[in-house]
Amino acid sequence: AQTVTQSQPEMSVQEAETVTLSCTYDTSENNYYLFWYKQPPSRQMILVIRQEAYKQQNATENRFSVNFQKAAKSFSLKISDSQLGDTAMYFCAFSLRGNEKLTFGTGTRLTIIP
Amino acid sequence: KAGVTQTPRYLIKTRGQQVTLSCSPISGHRSVSWYQQTPGQGLQFLFEYFSETQRNKGNFPGRFSGRQFSNSRSEMNVSTLELGDSALYLCASSLVQGQPQHFGDGTRLSIL
């Protein structure tokens, strides 16, 4: 079975600063996907970024980037130039290639302070 | 393009009743997955449907069931409701396997 661990229940950072959220996972499989989802108070789960395990290059989406360390089974999210709208719960998630089931971590509550 | 639509947004039921939740995926998406979100257990996978067939199922009792129609719309049903079924139920759709899943706003179910 796959597991996803987020060890930071809460974080806060000043607006415009950079913050990194941690995620580790455990799997014996080689082909999989990793995701970061954001859930603001409005409760809709929004995809932030996606990484394919067979790609060595780290995924980037505007201010959001990941540090994917496959051997260490680590998948951290870096948010640059943080904005008030980034305040949300952030979930790290895993899925096997060929399987839609997402396994989520427990989440990190991120607060951006004005 | 309209997103994933879940109805109703809020629902209040009493123990022992049954409930049906609805999910309309993004147009063209054929895979629909359901998740339960609670403060204690976090986000847990319920099941996934593709082309009207259940492809994957999580570890939930048989009281939780679902189905998918030919237009890809999906419903999930919970029978004999228990207090512990109070949760946010999220639906997600994707175009094909491996593509990102897009979530709806969820249905907040409260059991009295």
Q: For A28-63, what is each residue's pLDDT tens digit?
A: 999 999 999 999 987 889 999 999 998 888 988 899
Measured in degrees and rounded to the nearest 5, phi and psi for residue B83 equal -55, -35
pLDDT number for residue A106: 96
pLDDT number for residue A94: 94
Q: For A9-28, what is each residue's pLDDT tens digit?
A: 999 999 999 999 999 999 99
Contacts of A87 (CB under 8 A, 6+ apart): A40, A110, A111, A112
Give the B window 14-53 contacts with A, CB below 8 Å.
31, 33, 35, 42-43, 45, 48, 50
- Which candidate in B5, B43, B72 is best for mutational testing of the A interface (most A CBs within 10 A)? B43
The verdict on A64 touching B (C-beta cutoff 8 Å) is: no
Using alpha carbons, list the distances in angstroms from residue A107 to A6, A20, B14. 6, 13, 30
Residue B100 structure tokens: 């990102």
Contacts of B47 (CB under 8 A, 6+ apart): B33, B34, B54, B56, B57, B58, B60, B64, B66, B76
Give the B window 50-109 contacts with A, CB below 8 Å.
50, 55-56, 58, 88, 90, 92, 94, 97-98, 100-106
The verdict on A97 touching B (C-beta cutoff 8 Å) is: yes
Measured in degrees and rounded to the nearest 5, phi and psi for residue A80 equal -95, 155
Do B79 and B15 meet the contact criterion of CB atoms below 8 Å apart? Answer: no
Give the CA dihedral A6, B32, A41, A74, nearest 10 degrees.
Answer: 20
Cα separation, A43 vs A90, whole angstroms: 11
Give the DSSP per-residue string, chain A.
Answer: --EEE---SEEEEETT--EEE--EEE-S-SSEEEEEEEE-TT---EEEEEEETT--SPPEETTEEEEEETTTTEEEEEE-S--GGG-EEEEEEEEETT----EE---EEEEEE-
Q: How far is B28 from chain A (nearest CA, A)?
A: 16
The verdict on A9 touching B (C-beta cutoff 8 Å) is: no
Q: How far is B49 from chain A (nearest CA, A)?
A: 9
Mean pLDDT of A63-73: 95
Residue owning tokens 């994933």:
B4
Do B106 and B8 meet the contact criterion of CB atoms below 8 Å apart? Answer: no
pLDDT tens for chain B, 112 residues: list them. Answer: 679 999 999 999 999 999 999 999 999 999 999 999 999 899 999 999 999 999 999 999 999 999 999 999 999 999 999 999 999 999 999 987 777 889 999 999 999 9
Size of interface A-B (CB pairs under 8 A): 52
Q: Do B43 and A46 touch (CB under 8 A)?
A: no
Count of residues making up chain B: 112
